[in-house]
Structure 1
């Protein structure tokens, strides 16, 4: 009702006594205007006040009469609004008090309060476009840590979040299909109608877009409301600010109106007639009813249809978390023992567990598993999405046959011809509408697909859980499948049956009979894969999974009454699957989009090709994922891919993936589903250990080996790890913590692991950590414990002296029955301590069979890697003519004038490169290089690398025989054999290089002025020849490169015996000197491998000649 003057229409005043004398003074406007604004077709009929018949009588009234009439009008308006409100509440309560879980109006319904389970709703960021397929989105959503987000109750949707002061008018709620957006709307409306929440709101108007689509006529806003709510005809307007209204626009993604915010005319009059599209854009923009609240729900892909400036808050429905899933199944299934079995089964299948974040899929799963677990063998219970949807479809046919009890049907499990025709017609509709991106259909859509509307109603009545017919707010017919996944499944059924029965490829139909005869199922697969890869929003991703899953013989047998039987043999089915798997493998190697690659892995999973995940990882190492820096969300998708596989990964190599530190964090959960986790050199920190500790405590975890070397975990990280390592659920047998920045501070924690009766640890590698004697003493307390089961202990390069070795010897005497191998190389054990340990090799009471005390000496007691510092010189015979060597062949400078060097087969003739004369093998070496300029290549090469020409074969890092780190002012990049990857890290003019030749590692460090090493990258391989340090110089980018003089009097200037040398048990306790000499140059070697090497020593012919 439109009134002049101040109005008192709050919900409180609506319920006040109408005889109240409190009336505010009206504006100086004619009372005639007041009366003419009343509806003329139904007089208000006030009980004691006479109606005025003409304006003359009005003009004769004095001011007291006007106030009296105004007061009565306000009272009457309050009563009218209250009556209309109560009528609308009653109507909405009647409509929304029941819930139909995928069941149309033909089926039985449950009371909303009996089945409703609280949904997880959070702040949803922006309303921007999300083109990922919704199943992938739910995979990502299921990973997000709920403890880091504040849940929002649906009745609090308009309340500002903590820290927000701005009032909220419009809320946009995102969520994938079936996640619970409409159920959340139903919850809010029902609670309001029943007086439980939001009672400060006078009117709630649910206006689903699926209904608004049908409004072709023109309306004013008040007429549109009266169309849906005839009770509103009692009221002219709801424009006053005191009347609080809430418009709920559900299903923006189903909107077929243009919503042309840019070009639609502006409208601010609620009584002005215009198109529904114009009404909506003006309502959303705030031109119409600016004081009204708006709640818009949408699938993510349509969220960007609303201009961001029109949205005050974005929320996201995440569906069910794990406790909510369990709550749902326990409410749904009355038999609690059966409910527990269903929950257990869901949790064992990663794909089903993720899909059950979607409430509708929980209902589908409950429908199937409630039947299957009662009658089926364990191996028949569905574990994949394809199996689940196949069983769901068949169960609905069985229910329908039993319900209608056709006389011709003796076995309700058998599909009649009418059943088959029904499902296949629905399948055709599903495919055609999926191609258009439609989830809801109207009568014209059905007619376009050749379906009779009467038939459609019959289908929905007979098979209501698959295909729904609904009545809108004004009884218009609306059709849909129970969930997008069912539509995608049936679309795949249509594509498969068209190929099997009609020899048609739905993606490239043809009328040529000869061409039809040549169509094979693998051809359809290839075409479907290609089409899915072309899709920008991945709308065919799930369709492709279902299509490939249906190609398995077991699934086709399940649907044998529906699909055409071709007489194909088991061998033929296997060949088809094999061809498709090969095609998917090729596409994974070729495809540049990580998102698409992820779905191809899902397809392999549906094909049952889980054992191929390892092969795919091999492809990815040399494919697009290794070349592209993965974003953290892409890493999460990849992590879920690997977690979903039923096949346990033999090996998960984290450094395979080129990503950020945050990206590596997202991939860490994968360790719980692999046997061997290689996480070396991935910039992990102590914070990473929190995730790893949880993974170590995973029940039935297959993880046996964990390599964390070359990560700065520190003592704090190891302390966290030890919590998991002492867990009775932990199965770790091999732990590698080489060069992790550890000190004596972590040794007590490690000792507690060794002495734990729960520990299964057999091998512990601690090389290159500054543990010192004090740390070894603490560690020995665990070694001597009777519960210690350790077989192999690596303490190489840990600053251990004679004192520490004596403590180890004592520990071995206390517990001699387990330790078999002890590595104390690159320490300073001294002769006496070494002798004590060596004695254990020949004592039969000890299990020790290998002891390595090689490469020892006082020089090994220097902290860090500088204990491995070696003396290098540049080889003049390799220098490009535009390079000049100086400072005793330790500095190279690029010049314009070519130098008159003698011709030499080792010289680089075109590329500005130079090598060192020393070949390194069999040991550990460290050197530092400083560049003066913006860019330089720092690497190592085999002697046989090509020296002539411009080709990659001559460029350090461009071939198999070399590796290099490109260093520049903007960052680092590692090159090997034509493949490169960006290396994050602090930029410095000085770079440290650490070569552990026997271990097959080449590591680069950034060395700032402080001297503290920062790990950049570690290359893992197997070296087969001596390596020569080399450098590449850009004429325009760098002036010089210098081999730095490391201030250490014990710098390596001699040749160690090569290879891994162990003291083995035997009558003479001899040493095994294996491998090449560690440093090869033109110097003559003494019998024991030592030599005096001076910087000005003349160049002699090398003793080692490279092989062809």
Structure 2
């Protein structure tokens, strides 16, 4: 008889593996094994010790419809012998021989046994499914006689997995046979499957599309089409890093050749070879804009589309920006899940299932997570505040069987004790080849792409920042406009120039797209000036507080109406964006931390030029700027106070702000903002005094991180005298480290760390073998793979 071959769907292919691994089933149908279930219903499944052959059946009003899960009908797969024992025993009856024919006969015999086992398993399972679908089937299976068989946890998981896979196959063939009504009835008899289906369907809708640009008014693009595999490395600690994130990017970009364990997002919970302990909690670190959120979205989408991690029954993604809004509310863990994922309201307990909680953006968490004094909570039905729920979930006190994935910027990593984290991973940005690939894809003209790549390489600051995908997009947006219009002469070389151009481009887009103007019209209108001034105030006030996301209360404090904020996010779509959480209020943020830092610096500069106010000292000066020595001193004090504030910051959060503010002090940059600034021009004497002040600070033996940022500040002020001095010594071979001043030592470190040459092996002896040289050059030693 001819047998047709039927292609199975991806979800069903798993059953082939399951069945192949099946041990020989009992020839007779096994009875139902009761088990505790996590499905909500009016009746609880009877416990094995309570169930006897004499147990009365359910009353006439009894209904267990939510318990009639085919996959929760714990029919034990009892075996008289293990498969290995059976095969070994049977194979001993096969005549032994060395010939190929004898070997083939043996293989045929094994596969005949395998076929018998699979057929028996399928017949028995189909009988159970038929009972579920038959009209005269009793309403509750729990009233039937059952054998009390206690299996281990692994056996229980295997049995559940087998039945879930077989159920998928059955539903697939019923629908192929056009038996939609039976398929729907079978699927609806499985509450777990129904909840899963609804959850996966909703998560697919939520995460399958991303939007080109920022605003949701943009063109939706399928995430699976544009997702590029991100570089995730295993290792590191959950300890805090006090460097500004741009400095961390510099450090990462200098270590391209180090051997590191890389991980794909779908394998985030899989233990690496040699790791015995299972992974419960993963922390993924990465600077702002590096792709942490997209990474979690891809994980969720792959699960929802049945492409990966199908051993997980439920995946629940949360963002801390959403959870911040629940600080006054109380939930039990079950209520907490139901609040965000109403599809799961049929489930009143999650202990029976493999659950993954994803918490994105720990750095945005506002309620304090106190792991030392928070009460211990183990009951998933007990109500408490959200921060208590989170700390106990992360501790493993609450639902210890769950897996957790937490993402964060590096500065917030220490909010969670290291002993609560099983694995730390890090998302790295673009490598140098990936940067080039990005620009060659963005600019199809080969000559144009090569020109842009060469230009970026000439500016170390720009090249480093392009490690961040978002900055590559900003750079491409600016350079595309500069090349198209030919305005501004040279292409921007410093960070400040790049962000000024970016702001001007967005202003032009507003004029043309929203106001119906021409590209040749003035960039700045009274309305757009007011918008940027308001956004600058918001950026500065929230940067001072360390906030990257803003709620209605934050906007109110800054004097911004929430309706106005929505307008801003709709007009300056590539600068400021509005988001909505699940069932929550509006949340606002800038597209990247660096944009917030630039606008904050612009706000300080605007207030000083237009009003004479130094926001860093809050001392009111005359409202009209003059050319007197006193006013020059006020300008000098503004920039000196900014240097002091940045150096006093414990985590370097004002480092980039300082670079932008000093860059904005140059008249050439102010001219680019003509129309936004009511008057331009700054004192060259004030700039010289600022340069001198920065060099004094470099000479004070500051930490290498702070000194390096001060050199970047000098670059923004177009002063490279210290660096050129050391470079001249290096070129002539006359560098004597015995005579270097502290500032010159710092310049040498800056030059070595800024070099495009790979610091694979650093020859320390080339400079000096003294203890002082080792201490001074320690940052370079740390950055290199090997020092000799």
Question: Which category of TM-score, normalised to the shorter sequence, fits these structures?
Answer: 0.7 to 0.9
Aligned with 2:270 (options 159, 163, 166): 159
Q: Deviation digits for residues 22-72 of structure 1, max 9, x if unmatched?
A: 744654254799999x9999796975478999xxx999x5625999xxx99
**Aligned residue runs from structure 1 range 47-86, under 5 A:** 47-48=133-134, 63=145, 79-86=190-197
Q: 1:225 aligns with which of 325, 337, 345?
A: 337
SS in 1 for 2:534: helix
For 1:126, what is the secondary structure of its paired residue? coil
Residue 314 of structure 1 aligns to a residue whose secondary structure is strand
Report if aligned partners of 1:639, 1:666 keep a CA contact under 8 Å in 2: no
What is the match of residue 635 of structure 2? 521
Contact 1:139 1:637 in 2 (8 A): no
Shift of 1:514: 8.8
The structure-2 alpha-carbon separation of the partners of 1:25 and 1:91, relative to structure 1 and needing over 3 Å to count, comes to: closer
* Whole-Å separation in 1 of the counterparts to 2:481 and 2:315: 40
TM-score by length of 1: 0.53
2:107 equivalent in structure 1: none
Offset of 1:106 from its aligned partner? 3.4
Match of 1:388 among 495, 498, 506: 498
Cα contact 1:117–1:328 (8 A) shared by 2: no
Deviation at 1:532, TM superposition (A): 0.7
SS in structure 1 at match of 2:684: helix
Post-superposition shift, 1:196?
2.3
Distance 1:253 1:579, change over 3 A: same
Partner in structure 2 of residue 317 of structure 1 = 427
Q: 2:460 matched to 1:350?
A: yes
SS of the residue corresponding to residue 63 of structure 1 reads coil
Give the one of 81, 95, 114 matched to 2:206.
95
1:639 to 752, 774, 784: 752
For 1:263 and 1:64, locate their aligned partners in 2 and report how far apart those are by CA, in whole Å.
48
Given that residues 704 and 779 in structure 2 are in contact (C-alpha distance below 8 angstroms), is that contact kept between their aligned partners in structure 1?
no
Q: What's the secondary structure of 1:151's corresponding residue?
A: strand
Query: Which of these residues, 602, 606, 611, is aligned with residue 493 of structure 1?
Result: 602
2:638 is equivalent to residue 542 of structure 1: no
Cα gap change, 1:213/1:102 in structure 2, threshold over 3 Å: closer, same or farther? farther
1:502 to 595, 603, 611: 611
**Residue by residue, what CA displacement relative to the aligned partner does 1:649-692 show, whole Å, maximum 9, x if unpaired?**
xxx9834996676985974999xxxxxxxxxxxxx99x779xxx
Paired residues of 1:117 and 1:324 also in contact (CA < 8 A):
no
Distance 1:195 1:175, change over 3 A: same
- CA-to-aligned-CA distance 1:753-787 (integer Å, 9 cap, x gap): xxxxxxxxxxxxxxxxxxxxxxxxxxxxxxxxxxx
Aligned to 1:559: 673
What secondary structure is seen at the aligned counterpart in 2 of 1:137? helix
* Alignment partners' CA distance in 2, 1:35 and 1:324: 66
Query: Would you say how many aligned residue pairs link Structure 1 and Structure 2?
Result: 639
Change (3 A) 1:124 1:383: farther
Distance 2:57 2:661 in 1: 67
* 1:479 is the counterpart of 2:588: yes
Map 1:159-198 to 2 at 5 A.
159-198=270-309
> How far apart, CA to CA, are the structure 1 residues paired with 2:501 and 2:754?
24
Using the TM superposition, give the Cα deviation of residue 311 of structure 1 relative to its aligned residue in structure 2, in angstroms: 0.4
Report the 3-state secondary structure (helix = DSSP H, G, I; strand = E; otherwise coil) of the residue aligned with 2:679: coil
User: Counterpart in 1 of 2:533?
Assistant: 424
Question: Could you say which residue in structure 1 is the equivalent of 2:762?
Answer: none
Q: CA separation of 1:11/1:426 partners in 2, compared to 1, >3 Å: closer, same or farther? A: farther
CA distance in 1, matches of 2:380, 2:699: 59
**Residues 290, 448 of structure 1: alpha-carbon distance in 2 compared, 3 angstrom cutoff:** same
1:132–1:90 distance in 2 versus 1, CA, 3 Å: same
Worse overlay, 71-80 or 145-154: 71-80
CA distance in 1, matches of 2:541, 2:215: 22
Q: 1:299 to 1:431 in 2, by over 3 A?
A: same
User: What is the rounded CA distance, in whole Å, between the counterparts of 2:329 and 2:65 in structure 1?
Assistant: 24
For 2:525 and 2:623, locate their aligned partners in 1 and report how far apart those are by CA, in whole Å: 32
CA contact (8 A) 1:14 1:82 kept: no
Displacement of 1:202 after TM fit? 1.9
**Structure-2 residue corresponding to 1:777:** none
Aligned to 1:255: 365
CA RMSD across the alignment: 4.1
Report the alpha carbon displacement of residue 118 of structure 1 after superposing the two structures with TM.
2.1
After superposition, the Cα gap between the structure-2 partners of 1:35 and 1:157, relative to the gap in structure 1 and judged at 3 Å, is farther
CA distance 1:550–1:658, change in 2 (3 Å): farther
Task: Give the conservation status (yes or no) of the 8 Å contact 2:531–2:568.
Answer: yes
Match of 2:720 among 599, 610, 635: 610
The answer for the alignment partner of 1:234 in structure 2 is 346
- What is the TM-score when the length of structure 2 is the normalising length? 0.73
C-alpha distance in structure 2 between counterparts of 1:439 and 1:467, whole Å: 11
Contact 2:698-2:707 within 8 A present in 1 as well: yes
1:200 to partner: Cα distance: 2.0
Cα distance, 1:141 vs structure 2: 0.7
Structure holding more strand per residue: 1
- The alignment status of 1:145 with 2:145, answered yes or no, reads no
Matches of 1:116 and 1:624 in 2, distance apart?
A: 47
Distance in 1, matches of 2:442 and 2:301, equals 21
Whichever structure has more helix as a proportion of its residues is 2
Task: Note the 1:706-745 alignment, pairs <5 A.
Answer: none
Tell me, in whole angstroms, the C-alpha distance in 2 between the residues paired with 1:255 and 1:610.
41
Partner in structure 2 of residue 443 of structure 1: 552
Change (3 A) 1:144 1:642: closer
What residue ranges of structure 2 are gaps of 5+ in the alignment?
Answer: 1-11, 20-27, 36-46, 70-131, 150-159, 168-185, 730-735, 758-764
Shift of the alpha carbon at 1:107? 3.0
Cα gap change, 1:225 to 1:12, in 2 (>3 Å): farther
Report the 3-state secondary structure (helix = DSSP H, G, I; strand = E; otherwise coil) of the residue aligned with 2:262.
coil
CA distance in 2 between counterparts of 1:433 and 1:514 reads 25
Q: Following the alignment from structure 1 to structure 2, what is the Cα–Cα distance between the partners of residues 354 and 596?
A: 17
**Residue 165 of structure 1, CA deviation:** 2.2
Aligned counterparts of 2:425 and 2:249: Cα–Cα separation in 1:
15
Deviation at 1:440, TM superposition (A): 0.7
Which structure has the greater CA radius of gyration?
1
Q: Structure 1 residues 460, 161: closer, same or farther in 2, change over 3 A?
A: same
Q: Secondary structure at the match of 1:213?
A: helix
Q: How far off is 1:271 after superposition?
A: 2.1
How far apart, CA to CA, are the structure 2 residues paired with 1:657 and 1:392? Answer: 47
Distance 1:291 1:348 in 2: 52
